[in-house]
């Protein structure tokens, strides 16, 4: 995509943001570098193919997010970790 910086100098910042978040390359922009993400970051976070670690559809947890997993805390004792059904 061609850059608009020659017509509108203020477009430089928006083109840099679009490059950083989506990976769109604007030909003619002399300062096309990342704004938000680190310079060595390999991906673009607003693309549809960006992988999220807790994405239920593609995670190694097989559709269960970490926050939804049932588990006992490491410092729990048997008395505090025992679950009781309501009314028991």
pLDDT of 80 reads: 61
How distant, in Å, are the alpha carbons of 18, 50, 81 from that of 1? 11, 21, 59
Share of the chain above pLDDT 90, in %: 30
Neighbours of 32 (CB within 10 A): 18
pLDDT of 41 reads: 84
pTM above 0.75, yes or no: no
Burial of 29 (0-12, 13-18, 19+ CB in 10 A): buried
pLDDT band at 86 (very low <50, low <70, confident <90, very high): low
pLDDT, one tens digit per residue, over 17-51 is 999 999 999 999 888 889 998 888 888 888 877 76
């Amino acid at each position: 995509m061609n850059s608009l910086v020659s017509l509108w100098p203020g477009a430089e910042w928006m083109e840099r943001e679009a490059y950083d978040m989506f990976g769109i390359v604007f030909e003619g922009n002399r300062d096309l570098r990342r704004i938000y993400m680190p310079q060595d970051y390999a991906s673009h976070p607003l693309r549809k193919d960006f992988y999220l670690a807790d994405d239920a559809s593609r995670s190694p947890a097989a559709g269960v997010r970490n926050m939804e997993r049932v588990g006992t805390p490491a410092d729990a004792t048997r008395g505090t970790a025992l679950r009781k059904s309501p009314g028991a």
